[in-house]
Amino acid sequence: MKRYNYRAKEKATGKVVKGSIQADSEQLAGRLLVQQDLIPETLVEEGASNPLSKLGARVTRKDRIMFTRQLSTLIGAGLPLSAALRTVTEQTESRGMRAVGEEILASAESGKTLFEAFSAHPHIFSGVYLALIQAGEKSGTLDIALKRLADQEEQDAAMLSKIRGALVYPAIILVVIIAVLLFMMFAVVPQVEGLYEDMGEELPGLTQGLVNLTDFFVKFWWLILVIVVGASVGAFMFVKRTDLGRHIADGFKIHVPVFGGLFRKLYVSRFARTAEMLLSTGVPMVDSITIATNAVSNSVVEDEYAKAIEMLKGGKTLSESLMEREYMLPLVPQMAGIGEESGKIDEMLGKAAKVYEDELYHQIENISTMIEPILMVIMAGLIGVVVGGTLLPIYSLVNSVSA
């Protein structure tokens, strides 16, 4: 029997837990975790690395989307599950996805359900993905569930692409600011210092400060590099490897000026869209909201939304449970209430998600416009200080010589 180290989320609370479990195979270990109401995130055999890494391959979001959409199309066309899996696996160009597909096919042909086969790869397929697979199998709408998954993943990918694209221009401006400052400090300031030394004059206070700063950078650049790299690596490890670090970083995201509102809309729309997908495929209410909460991917917001789960278990309606939740925008509980009255709660949650997704798209497109004035003011201030410390002393020196 082998031992596997895992990282998973508790289904009820969303808390991230780590531990080890004994099983005869990775597939069985993943299934045992699911039976313990845990949503596996990573599962690695002790003393071994991920088999995909040994192949030098990995599964990207694009690979997963293509695999899911093709499988949905073939199943919807009436092909038996095994034939559909075999066809999709053979057609995929990704070595990593092909390896996973072959394992899923082998599990399905051995008599396991598709949910059990996919659950053996928690590092690739999320809790939302697995829940929709399970619901689709039970309701006989597997092709629809897979199509919904592919659509949502494509939408998430498009959103991330928009965010990255919107940040390109501000990043370029920031690089220009840094380049101009470095040029002024290392090319212009030393010349001003030499000019004053030749004239036997004392440098003005601002210019002397810039000279001292430049000298410090020249003499201790290695120390600055060590501090910057060490602090960056330390902060990254703190955020990625500790619950406290993740909690602090997640809290910063939703409170930071300009971007805080964007992150809140992103989390609310992700919650509502995920709940809509799960409810529409027949997943029970409490399970749907639990999985949707975990799909938010922000520990601070998840902790707040988890309070709604407890209220649901206590007999409250979804609209009542979400009404007073911090970080929950008002349209979602309002639309949930309308859905409860009309019997179309999944549809109403989908409409609420659409509203916030549209607002998010427009705001993301305007990110550059929002940030540009701030960066321009910062650039003007910093360059003004450097220019004031270089040009003004030259004018002063010229005036003194003329006099």
Provide the whole-model pTM.
Answer: 0.68
Higher pLDDT, 15 or 154: 154
Give the range with max mean pLDDT: 26-30, 67-71, 183-187, 376-380.
67-71
- Quickly list DSSP for 11-43: TTT--EEEEEEEESSHHHHHHHHHHTTEEEEEE
163-178 per-position pLDDT tens digit: 777 778 778 888 888 8
Domain 2-151 top-level CATH class: mainly alpha
99-128 per-position pLDDT tens digit: 888 888 888 887 888 888 888 888 888 877
Where does CATH 1.20.81.30 sit in the chain? Answer: 2-151, 259-365
Q: How many whole angstroms separate alpha carbon 389 and alpha carbon 104? A: 67
What percent of the chain has a predicted confidence (pLDDT) above 70? 92
Q: How confident is the model over 261-286, as a mean pLDDT?
A: 88
Closest-CA residue to 149 (of 302, 276, 35, 13):
276
208-221 per-position pLDDT tens digit: 787 888 888 888 88
The answer to whether residue 45 scores a pLDDT higher than 80 is no
Q: How many whole angstroms separate alpha carbon 401 and alpha carbon 134? A: 86
Q: How confident is the model over 124-134, as a mean pLDDT?
A: 82
Q: How many whole angstroms separate alpha carbon 77 and alpha carbon 84? A: 10
Please tell me the CATH code under which domain 259-365 is placed. Answer: 1.20.81.30
Residues 96-105 as b or e (16 or more Cβ within 10 Å = b): bbbbbbebbb
183-215 per-position pLDDT tens digit: 877 887 787 777 777 766 677 777 778 788 888
**Can you give the C-alpha Rg of the chain in angstroms?**
28
Q: How many whole angstroms separate alpha carbon 251 and alpha carbon 272? A: 20
Reading the block at residue 249, the tokens are 């970083």
Confidence of residue 4 (pLDDT cuts 50, 70, 90): confident
CA distances for 47 relative to 44, 120, 322, 336, angstroms: 9, 19, 45, 48
Give the pLDDT score at 371: 75
Q: How confident is the model over 342-365, as a mean pLDDT?
A: 89
Task: Quote the mean pLDDT of the chain.
Answer: 82
226-243 per-position pLDDT tens digit: 999 999 999 999 988 888
The answer to whether residue 338 scores a pLDDT higher than 90 is yes
The H or E element that residue 186 is part of is none
User: Taking the CA of residue 295 as centre, how many other CA atoms within 13 Å lie in the half-sphere pointing to its CB?
Assistant: 29
Give the pLDDT score at 351: 93
